[in-house]
Chains A and B, each alone.
Chain A
Amino acid sequence: MRAQGRQHKLNLNNRHSWLDFSFKYGALLIIALVIIVLSAVNSAFFSYDNIADILRAISITMFVAIGVTLSQIVDGFDLSVGSTVSLTTVVAATLMVWFNQPLIVVIIVPLVIGVVIGLINAFLIVRVRIPDLLATLAVMYVIAGIHKTYTKGYSIYNNMPMSDGTKAPGKFLPDFLWIGQGKLLGVPVPVVLMIVAVALVHLFLTYTRWGRQLYITGGNREAARLAGIKVNRIRLVAYVLSGLFAAIGGILYAARIGSGQVDAGAGLLMDSVAAVFVGYSVFGAGKPNVIGTFFGALLIGVLINGLTMLNLPYFAFDIVKGAVLVLALAVTFVHLNRRKKNG
């Protein structure tokens, strides 16, 4: 009986350490595996140009995902980020094409819109106390409606015909396009911006008292409140930053494509949520964190890039992305439940 008990214990430990290992390094292993396989299949994969391409492709997702990470940290959820990208993209485009505005206005106005959306979300969630998923779901549809009404459903591009039959007066500014298409010391500008943003947000979250308060608020709001943290302000800050980063994503999108596409951000919500949940477990963090989110976005970017190389039809990509999200959620929640059970 004793011996049997010991045997049992051994098995348990093995199973647990295997789970722990896959939790901590699973996402990284999959990234490495995909890179190795794709490099073997196609020699062009592991080239500087292609890697720069992958990073550029994930840079917009990453900005949106930073916002999602922040709302997740305070135990909230922001579904409106995708629509915010769509709206800010067309606003930036129309400011140039329709209204001939200078660069500073083209950048500031979308950022202000992002902040305002964040404030609206925070008001609904913190003041009116609508559950975060429902509040931001509603806001998501409102914003999507606004951006289509504003553009009458047309994409915005240089020399587009206006409703009065004339040509649009303005054009995309070269300086603006540089943000999305230019290079800095051989590195694409969006990639540079992404790396800077990840580094700054990581420092903010890990080493400042505001970052600490975000995590504490998300961990146990009532205990945080009783310890003197202004939890409502902290949650407001999280949603405002979420809107702001989505707006940056929108600006990058317009600059990258060189036009204002309708529904540009529609696919970004799922990508960024998947990135955040993949990142939840990276290095065993066990909480939403921006470095993990970066690796989550990288995983998705590498997969999409590889699938493109394998000539898979683009409409099948959602299957892969959805599967990644399901897998990441499964790993996350198995871990959370295990932690809960073991007190």
Chain B
Amino acid sequence: MTATNGRLELTMRGIVKSFAGVPALRNVDFSVLGGEIHALLGANGAGKSTLMKICSGAYTADAGEIRMSGEALHIGSPLDAMNQGIACVYQEVDTVLVPDLTVTENVMLDHIVRSRGFGTVRWSLLHREAERILAAIGAADIAVRSKAQELTIAQKQLVLIAKAVAQQAKVIIFDEPTAPLSLEEAGRLFAVMRSLRDDGVACIFISHRLDEVFALCDRITVMRDGERVATIATGETNPKSIIETMIGKPFEEEFPKLQTTIGETLLEVRNLSHGTKVRDVSLTVRRSEIVAVVGLVGAGKTELSRLLAGADVADSGEVLLNGRRLRLTQPYDAIRAGIVLVPEERRAQGVLVEESVKTNLSLPSLRELSSPLGFIKAVAERRHAERAVTELGIVTQGLDQPVKLLSGGNQQKVAVGKWLPTDADVYLFDEPTKGVDVGAKSDMFRLIGELAVQGKGIVYFSCELAEVLGIADRILVMSYGAIVKELSREEATQDKILYYASAGEAAQVELE
């Protein structure tokens, strides 16, 4: 490409990769410069994670080359990538840090492992060096002697960044780092990324949040279906056009809410408590009503959803469905009563990634699809799966395709689709749009709206305020395990929700 004038440039050229014969990357060219933050965007399944995993050595490309400032690199393992100065800050920070080691040990791990001599370690020196690096990235408040497991996710990310700096990384990949962060924590991360950029580091930023991308990045590369479709300076484009490039068609910004008539009370929760995570929660959901439970990450939304679904057992309180008190000891009890959950951790809990689309879809209906002797009726099962695939528009190469080969959005449709024939009354959705691309998102909203029209009660747990405001009839704000405020659709605004969500019970007392 162009001369780099001593400026660092990482180029990937002609990258090809396929999994089990399914192409994930088709001849992708990508380049990032030192001193820029470069966004890598694309719908789920577009190939951005695969491309970055090749860059960081987690995968090996089938073909293509990687060059750093003109010099060809051989990256066959994560260690190779590290030695070439390529580091990665993952969303799942816990898989990279050693929980039992101190911050210093984690940051300086590479140093410690490679130090010469007789294995003696000069701790005072190492602590001082770790402190210096943390201070340099504006994270001086992290105590270098505390253990990694005692840190928050945001702090762990900063430790990972410090580790990359200690290894003198020239290229740092940030793979959806803000997904688990609060707004404030994300802001701090962005400040760190900007200072790294100013030091000449090449930052690659993967995110689904376009507001972040436009606030932070210098250039944007968009991928679609395993190909790079555009690279453009941020100043020369806008979110709407980026979304259109991502999905390859004009974007309808509105998720129109379907009109429903709200019916009688379906679900009633009284004084539900579970440890410190869920405290004295009461709520009701009526037929055809979409109730959103919003709160920051860690507010207890997932814990509440698991109590209602029978996945965890509450310490106290009761759950009533159609006026009947439920005894929830395992998810089976909730499902039988008519409460189903679409969990947040889709790949770990929502679907069985190794199993086929058909097997996933028939799972809750196996009894109905079997003969009295327990033999599964193959034809009935196939028809059952075909119906769901058609109704939900699940994009798959066939009913026997393993779910792990589907995109995030289609996996989510499978996670929801398996419940549709069970005739449940209440659907619990925990962050259903997390890691789902724009197209699949609007499909998901349409589906939830249709369920409400059919008379189902919906509880929608989310921290995506814009989505919640679009879909919910009523909004319950959760903070530190308690529901601190109820807002109707009409009175709710992003500001109000944020205020109650972040100030918690103190705000409630103050206002009343």
Quick check: A5 and B63 within 8 Å, CB to CB?
A: yes
With A and B bound together, what is the CA distance between A5 and B74 in angstroms? Answer: 12
Chain A residues near B351 (CB-CB < 8 A): 223
Quick check: A343 and B404 within 8 Å, CB to CB?
A: yes
Chain A residues near B364 (CB-CB < 8 A): 227-228
Most chain B CB inside 10 Å of its own CB: which residue of A6, A209, A341? A209
With A and B bound together, what is the CA distance between A2 and B332 in angstroms? Answer: 55
Given A208-B374, A212-B376, A226-B311, A6:B63 Cβ within 8 A: yes
Quick check: B352 and A219 within 8 Å, CB to CB?
A: yes
Q: Mark A211-232, 1 if CB is under 8 A from B, else 0.
A: 0110010011011111111101
Number of A-B contacts (CB under 8 A): 88
Quick check: A225 and B331 within 8 Å, CB to CB?
A: yes
Given A209-B370, A220-B352, A227:B363 Cβ within 8 A: yes
Q: Mark B329-363, 1 if CB is under 8 A from A, else 0.
A: 01110011000010100001111111100010001
B residues 13-46 in Cβ contact with A at 8 Å: 14, 16, 19-20
A residues 300-334 in Cβ contact with B at 8 Å: none
Q: Does B367 contact A (CB under 8 A)?
A: yes
Tell me the smallest distance from the CB of A55 to a CB of chain B, in Å. Answer: 29
Q: Does A162 contact B (CB under 8 A)?
A: no
Please name the residue on chain A nearest to B340 by beta carbon: A228
Tell me how many residues of B have a C-beta within 8 Å of chain A: 41
Quick check: A342 and B19 within 8 Å, CB to CB?
A: yes
With A and B bound together, what is the CA distance between A212 and B65 in angstroms? Answer: 44
Q: Does B309 contact A (CB under 8 A)?
A: yes
Tell me the smallest distance from the CB of B431 to a CB of chain A, in Å. Answer: 15
Q: Does A129 contact B (CB under 8 A)?
A: no
Quick check: A212 and B349 within 8 Å, CB to CB?
A: no
Chain B residues near A228 (CB-CB < 8 A): 331-332, 335-336, 363-364
Please name the residue on chain A nearest to B309 by beta carbon: A226
With A and B bound together, what is the CA distance between A71 and B86 in angstroms? Answer: 43
Please name the residue on chain A nearest to B49 by beta carbon: A343
Q: Does A127 contact B (CB under 8 A)?
A: no
B376: contacting residue among A5, A207, A220, A227, CB under 8 A: A207
A216: contacting residue among B62, B352, B367, B375, CB under 8 A: B352
Quick check: B367 and A209 within 8 Å, CB to CB?
A: yes
Quick check: A12 and B363 within 8 Å, CB to CB?
A: no
A210: contacting residue among B309, B349, B363, B374, CB under 8 A: B374
Quick check: A216 and B355 within 8 Å, CB to CB?
A: yes
Q: Does B487 contact A (CB under 8 A)?
A: no
Please name the residue on chain B nearest to A286 by beta carbon: B354
Q: Does A185 contact B (CB under 8 A)?
A: no
Q: Mark A264-279, 1 if CB is under 8 A from B, else 0.
A: 0000000000000000
Q: Does A9 contact B (CB under 8 A)?
A: yes
B residues 56-97 in Cβ contact with A at 8 Å: 59-60, 62-65, 72
Q: Does B366 contact A (CB under 8 A)?
A: yes
Chain A residues near B367 (CB-CB < 8 A): 209
Chain A residues near B370 (CB-CB < 8 A): 208-209
Chain B residues near A213 (CB-CB < 8 A): 366
> Interface on chain A toward B: helix, strand, loop, or mixed SS?
helix
Q: Does A1 contact B (CB under 8 A)?
A: yes
Quick check: A229 and B332 within 8 Å, CB to CB?
A: yes
Q: Does A8 contact B (CB under 8 A)?
A: yes
With A and B bound together, what is the CA distance between A229 and B348 in angstroms? Answer: 16
Chain A residues near B374 (CB-CB < 8 A): 208-210
Given A216-B355, A223-B350, A229-B363, A12:B62 Cβ within 8 A: yes
With A and B bound together, what is the CA distance between A210 and B367 in angstroms? Answer: 10
With A and B bound together, what is the CA distance between A222 and B72 in angstroms? Answer: 44
Given A209-B370, A220-B352, A230:B330 Cβ within 8 A: yes
Q: Mark A134-161, 1 if CB is under 8 A from B, else 0.
A: 0000000000000000000000000000
Q: Does B418 contact A (CB under 8 A)?
A: yes
Please name the residue on chain A nearest to B363 by beta carbon: A227
With A and B bound together, what is the CA distance between A230 and B359 in angstroms? Answer: 17
Quick check: B62 and A219 within 8 Å, CB to CB?
A: no
With A and B bound together, what is the CA distance between A226 and B416 in angstroms? Answer: 12
A219: contacting residue among B335, B336, B354, CB under 8 A: B354
With A and B bound together, what is the CA distance between A72 and B105 in angstroms? Answer: 38
Quick check: B352 and A207 within 8 Å, CB to CB?
A: no
Q: Mark A2-34, 1 if CB is under 8 A from B, else 0.
A: 100110110010000000000000000000000
Given A208-B370, A209-B370, A216-B352, A225:B20 Cβ within 8 A: no
Chain A residues near B348 (CB-CB < 8 A): 220, 222-223
Chain B residues near A210 (CB-CB < 8 A): 374
Given A8-B63, A223-B348, A223-B349, A216:B332 Cβ within 8 A: no
A residues 228-245 in Cβ contact with B at 8 Å: 228-230, 232
With A and B bound together, what is the CA distance between A219 and B404 in angstroms? Answer: 13
With A and B bound together, what is the CA distance between A208 and B349 in angstroms? Answer: 23
Quick check: B343 and A9 within 8 Å, CB to CB?
A: no
Tell me the smallest distance from the CB of A148 to a CB of chain B, in Å. Answer: 40
Quick check: A227 and B331 within 8 Å, CB to CB?
A: yes
Quick check: B14 and A2 within 8 Å, CB to CB?
A: yes
Chain B residues near A2 (CB-CB < 8 A): 14, 63
Please name the residue on chain B nearest to A228 by beta carbon: B335
Tell me the smallest distance from the CB of B349 to a CB of chain A, in Å. Answer: 5
Chain B residues near A224 (CB-CB < 8 A): 352, 363
Tell me the smallest distance from the CB of A1 to a CB of chain B, in Å. Answer: 6
B343: contacting residue among A5, A208, A226, A232, CB under 8 A: A226
Please name the residue on chain A nearest to B60 by beta carbon: A12
Nearest first, the 4 closest Cβ-Cβ pairs linking A and B are A5-B63, A228-B335, A208-B374, A209-B366
The 14 sampled A-B contact pairs (Cβ below 8 Å) are: A5-B64, A209-B370, A212-B376, A216-B363, A219-B354, A220-B352, A220-B354, A224-B363, A227-B331, A227-B364, A228-B335, A229-B332, A232-B330, A341-B59
A residues neighboring B (CB under 8 Å): 1-2, 5-6, 8-9, 12, 207-210, 212-213, 216, 219-220, 222-230, 232, 341-343
With contacts A8-B62, A209-B369, A227-B363 known, what are 6 further pairs, Cβ within 8 A?
A5-B64, A209-B370, A209-B374, A223-B352, A341-B59, A342-B59
